[in-house]
Structures are given as structure tokens and as C-alpha cells.
Structure 1
Amino acid sequence: MLPVIFIHGLIGSFADPRALAPLHPAPTLCPDLHGYGADARAEPGTITIDTQVEHLRATIDQALPGGHVHLVGHSVGGVIAAAFAHRFPERTASLVSVEGNFSLADAFWSQQLAAKTAAEVEQILQADRADPGRWLRAGGIEPTREHLRSATQDLAYQPASTIHAMARTVVEYTAGPDYQQLLRDVFERVPVHLVAGARSRAGWDVPAWALSAAASYTELPRTGHMVMLEAPEEFGALLAGLLAPVSAGQVSTPE
């Protein structure tokens, strides 16, 4: 199988060994986006969708130079994945959008955070870090010991300044006049698989044209928006089934 790149969303990483295991022996990469993880000291003013795409390209080129890759983008990461596929179709074998933002309606949480001050976002993050169980329950997730461990790590993965900057750039980008055409171009150029959590599907604003043009559509039962946190093994097995046929087939380079 071709390499698989996991692109995380607004909060937390997108890396869980239990989800990666079914993809073995394919190379997998779960990079820290600009402003996250090892790059958490980034200046908020440098965080945009375009800089995230360039940061992702540089990271992929360093770890996996040349060749095609599969992109798996979650939520806000779906916007970055689509922007990468549009800019670098020659590197993109396929795109899996895991409840990726299709419109401003999808970015409702980003809209709320973007409208707040930096100090208000800091207060929200500190409150969530102090009570990760409440944060999980807000997403309909049972705060088991394993879920609490993952939530604690996710909430510590980025500073409030990064969350605020990402929320603002996502709102601006998805509301822009060119975003819908960008998405249509990506669907025409590469196979796009749509994946949703069964509990959260009703809130995912997927247009009819995207459902019709998608290479596949799957709902993971008994999960919500944070599918990797709730069902990592099932999610990894789903990806293996979706991506192996693309890797085995002939991948053509767009003209």
C-alpha cells in the first residue's frame, strides 16, 4: 500500500497506534501541523490554510520524498487535505475526508471560537483541560479511562493561540468564493472517500454533488465526530479496505 498521511483537526493529534496497525506494512505519517505538537511555539499570525499546506508538503517531502500518498483528513484537517490535493494532485493518490468541513456550516465550532477573543479561547481551553471528562461528554463520548487519557493528550497538544488562529483561518477559507470550486476540482481529479460517525452524520453538511461524486461513503456505527478516539481499530480496518485497492491499481498523474 502507498504511504498514508493523517491530517488532524482543530484540537488534538490524529495518531493512534491501534488505528495505524491495520495499515501495516504501508508507511504512515501523522505530522504535527504548524502550531501543534513539536511546532506549538509558532506565531499565531503565521497560521493559515496555505501555510499549513506548505508545512505539510515539506514534512511529507522530508519523510517520504517523491511518489503518491493517501491523505486522511479529519474535520478541519479535511480542509487542509483538500487544499493539498488541489495544489499537489500529482502527489495525491486519494483523499479520505473524515467529516471534513465542506462549508461554513460545518465549521460551526470554528465560527464560535473565531468570534471570541484570545483570552476567552484560553479560558475555554483551560476549563476543558481541567475537566476532560466534561469535554468528552459534550461530544457524546463515555469518559472511560482510555478515553480520558486520549482527551488529556489531545487538549494538551496545542496552545489556545493556535486554536484561535486555526478557527479564524478555517472560517475565512471555507467561506471564501473559491472553496466550493476547489472541492469540485479535487473530486474530479482524485478518488475521494467520505467517512462519518453514525451519531454525528446529521450535523455534517455534505452536499448532494459530493455524495454522488465520492468514491465511497461509510458511516462508522456507534461513533461520533471523533471516530479515531472512539473506534481506532475499526477506523484503521476501514481505511485499509478503502485504500489498498487504490494502491494496488494504476495511479495516473493528472495532466
Structure 2
Amino acid sequence: MAMVDTGGLRMHVQRLGPGDDRPATATVVLVHGLLTDSLASYYFTVAPPFAAAGLDVVMYDLRGHGRSGRPASGYTLDDGIDDLEALLDALEVRGPLHLVGNSYGGTVAFGYAARHPERAASVCLIESEPATASWAAKLGGILDRVTRELAHNEADALAWITAHRGHNTARLAKGAARLARETTLARDIPASRVLTEDRIRAVRCPVLGVYGGDSDLALLAPWLGSLLPDCRTVVVPGHEHSVLVEAAGVVGEQVLSLIRRASAGSQEASAPVPEASTPAQDPSAPGHAGAGAAVAR
């Protein structure tokens, strides 16, 4: 475990490399989702294979999550992007980055790419989307429900979760309730500054969207493809919002394919990808399911 002081926040970071004294071929930054999520959802799924493939893997706990500091306020999307900027500076990570974000983490990753297009080599959105007015309204509804059901009726909610989802999920939900109760997160995120379609179009690097076939977010595929100059989407049948932990093999291979293509700097990487939505087969051995997935997007 490493704790990094970014100047205003202590952040928990884990970094994996290829080992065997091999130099890393590129840096990939993994950003997790809200409330019940942490860097563990990557550590137990795709991070080790990424490191074995020769990548410098940086993953961290968002503010208020995992082992990172939990200030009472400062939870807008811009605050999250600022935290990522400060962390990369503290780690002295230079050069173009491959950004991977799950759920809300994808919104942070895309926001960073929109702010610093020169530093984004590629972006992968796992069950995620750029920040728009509709995104903010949807997050507002989800966080309001979490606040009411968990923070205000915690005992009953946790009893139901324990009975239907198990003790580990109830433990994660208890932490989410504390976060919603003790910070301004539920108010800050829906009030975040969002991106215009022109700002979204300005992200020129290769973008990959990975969605569960049974998730409502899979409907975003045509919209993303219509806005982004180099965008490909993959739908994994039989999965919903937890596709990262439930189908880690498929997700990891798709991300590695994106990184290889973007790193090659070939004509393929600079030309729009014609295909719209590509179904992916479920792996025979799904990823580690113990890490937990985000309840909020």
C-alpha cells in the first residue's frame, strides 16, 4: 500500500509494473466507481494481466473511498479530475496516458481527456458515459435514492441487503451510507459542470465503450459513435452494470486491444472505426467477484 500526499488530500495508490526489470511500454490509469467501489475492483481483475502485458498500471481510491482521505466536501466531477491531475503530478507520471474508468470513474477519465487531450492516448469507458445534463440528472436521482434508503433508513436497508445480497455487499453498503451521510458527495456530483457536445467531440483519441448486454447504458453505443471521431463499443451479453468484475477476461482483452492499437500509432488508430457495436462472448472463467461493484454511476 502507498499513501500519496497530493497537497490537499492523502490518496491510496497501488502501482503494478511488468517486473523482471522490463521497462513498461505505456502507462494505464484505472479509475473506479462510486460508493461501494474502490481500486480493489481492478486489483482483483484486470490490473495484474495489464502489468503482465508490459504496462505501468496506476490505480487509486477516489476521495472519500477506500483508504483515501474523506474530506467533508469537494466531490464535484471537477474536484475528481483535479485529484487525478494532482496524483499524476505527485507520482511524476509523464507522457500520454491510457485512461480506463468503470462507472463514475469513466466519467472522471473522460473529463480528464477533455481537459487534457494532449495527454490522453486512449479512453475506455466501462459501463460509463461522458458528463452531460442527462448524466447529472440520472446521478442525482440515484444518489438521492441512496441517501434516503441507506443514510436515513440504514438499519432496514442493510438488513435487506444482507438477506438478499450477502454480508460483503452489506459491509460495502454500510460504508456507502457513511460516505453519503458525512460528506456533500450526493449534492456535489449532480451539481457538477457538464460537457457540451462540442467538448465531447474534441476528444480525438481512440475511445472504447464496454457495456453489459442487459444494462440500460448499452443504449449509449450509437450516441457515442455519432459524437466521437474514433469510437468502438463492445456489448457483453448476459451482464449488467458489474461487467468489470463478472466478465474481467473479456473486458481486459478489449482494453488491451485498444491500448495496443492506440500505442501503435498506425493509420487504424487515426481513422474512425466503422463498426458500431460488437457483441463479445462471455468468458468461461469470469473475473474475481469479491471486489464489489459500484451502486451508483
TM-score with structure 1 setting the length? 0.76
- The reply to whether residue 20 of structure 1 matches residue 36 of structure 2 is no
Aligned CA RMSD, in angstroms, stands at: 3.3
- The reply to whether residue 181 of structure 1 matches residue 198 of structure 2 is yes
Gapped regions of structure 1 (runs ≥ 5): 137-142
Q: Which of 90, 109, 112 lines up with 1:62 in the alignment? A: 90
Q: Give secondary structure in 2 for the equivalent of 1:38.
A: coil
- The reply to whether residue 90 of structure 1 matches residue 118 of structure 2 is yes
Q: 1:56-104, CA deviations, whole angstroms, 9 ceiling, x for partnerless residues?
A: 1121233352111111112222221121111122221111111213445
The residue aligned with 1:139 is: none
The residue aligned with 1:140 is: none
Q: Note the C-alpha offset of 1:248.
A: 3.0
TM-aligned CA distance change 1:10 to 1:63, over 3 Å = same
| Larger relative contact order, structure 1 or 2 (CA cutoff 8 Å, min sep 6) | 1
Question: In the aligned structure 2, how far is the partner of 1:90 from the partner of 1:104?
Answer: 25
- The reply to whether residue 206 of structure 1 matches residue 220 of structure 2 is yes
TM-aligned CA distance change 1:123 to 1:87, over 3 Å = same
The residue aligned with 1:53 is: 81
Q: Which of 164, 170, 189 lines up with 2:189 in the alignment? A: 170
Describe how 1:88-167 pairs up with structure 2 within 5 A.
88-102=116-130, 103-106=132-135, 110-115=139-144, 121-123=150-152, 129-130=158-159, 132=161, 149=168, 151=169, 154-155=172-173, 158=176, 159-161=178-180, 165-167=184-186
TM-score with structure 2 setting the length? 0.66
Larger Rg: 2
Q: Note the C-alpha offset of 1:119.
A: 6.5
The structure carrying a bigger strand percent of its residues is 2
Q: 1:39-60, CA deviations, whole angstroms, 9 ceiling, x for partnerless residues?
A: 24211x2221111111111212
Q: Give secondary structure in 2 for the equivalent of 1:41.
A: coil
Bigger Cα displacement from structure 2, 71-80 vs 103-112: 103-112
Contact kept, 8 Å, 1:121 with 1:164, in 2: the verdict is: no
TM-aligned CA distance change 1:123 to 1:184, over 3 Å = same
Gapped regions of structure 2 (runs ≥ 5): 1-24, 271-297
Question: In the aligned structure 1, how far is the partner of 2:69 from the partner of 2:158?
Answer: 17
Q: Note the C-alpha offset of 1:32.
A: 0.9
Same amino acid, percent of matched pairs: 25
- The reply to whether residue 196 of structure 1 matches residue 211 of structure 2 is yes
The residue aligned with 1:76 is: 104
The structure carrying a bigger helix percent of its residues is 1
The residue aligned with 2:21 is: none
Q: Which of 229, 240, 243 lines up with 1:227 in the alignment? A: 243
Q: 1:138-182, CA deviations, whole angstroms, 9 ceiling, x for partnerless residues?
A: xxxxx7xxxx75x467546653338974443332237x4x44332
